[in-house]
Amino acid sequence: MKAIHIALLWATSFAAYAVILILMYAFVPQGKLFAFYSDFAGPVPGAEWDNIISNVIIFGSAAITFLLVWVVAYFALKSRSS
């Protein structure tokens, strides 16, 4: 595999991560999650909640991107061997 292919694969996975991150910030119901978390753990200051939800979204989007890249690679390798 040439270096340009590796760089393009990295750029593609990074772009997928960025898109998933933006979509999660846009569509995750943060108000409902805040109410649920406050009921579960008690009152939470705003700054602490911002840290919690940011970590959840960042790590969640990383996990989704990992799974997406893994599935694409699995099917690409499966079709290549067939």
Nearest to 59 by CA among 29, 21, 28: 21
Q: What is the pLDDT of residues 23-63, one digit of tens each?
A: 999 999 999 999 999 999 999 998 999 999 999 999 999 99
Q: What is the pTM of this model?
A: 0.84
Q: At what angle do helices 30-41 and 46-81 cross, to 10 degrees?
A: 120
Amino acid at position 30, single letter: Q
Kindly indicate the confidence band of residue 64, based on its pLDDT and cuts at 50, 70 and 90: very high
Exposed / middle / buried, residue 14 (Cβ in 10 Å: 0-12, 13-18, 19+): exposed
CA distance 80 to 82: 6
